[in-house]
Structure 1
C-alpha cells in the first residue's frame, strides 16, 4: 500500500490535508488491463527513472 497526501488551501490559508491509500495490487491489475487492451504492455517509471511496475515475464530492456 502507498499513502499519498497533499495539503490544500482555502483563500490562501492552510485548510487541511487530502490523503488516499492505494493498494499496489490494484495498480498492477490496472496496468495489466491497459496492456491487454492495446496488445502491448504498460509499465510505471518514477521521476528518477526507476521502474516501479513492470509486467512479469517481459524483457526488462527499456
Structure 2
C-alpha cells in the first residue's frame, strides 16, 4: 500500500494534482449551482411580473 501511495516516487506531483482537480470540479459545481438558483429566481420574478421570454407582456 505504501508503494501505491508513493506513486513510484512521483507522489509529490500526483497527489496535489488530484487535489487541485477535485477542488476545481467542486468549485465549478458550486458556482454552477449558485448561478442556476439565481436564474431560477429571476425567471420566477419575471413570470410573476407577467413577462414572457421575449420581454413583452403576455396577453391573457
Tell whether the structures are fold-level matches, with TM greater than 0.5: no
Bigger Cα Rg:
2
Larger RCO, structures 1/2 (Cα 8 Å, 6+ apart): 1
TM-score (norm 1): 0.31
Structure with greater helix share of residues: 2
Q: TM-score with structure 2 length normalisation?
A: 0.32
- Identify, as 1 or 2, the structure richer in strand: 1
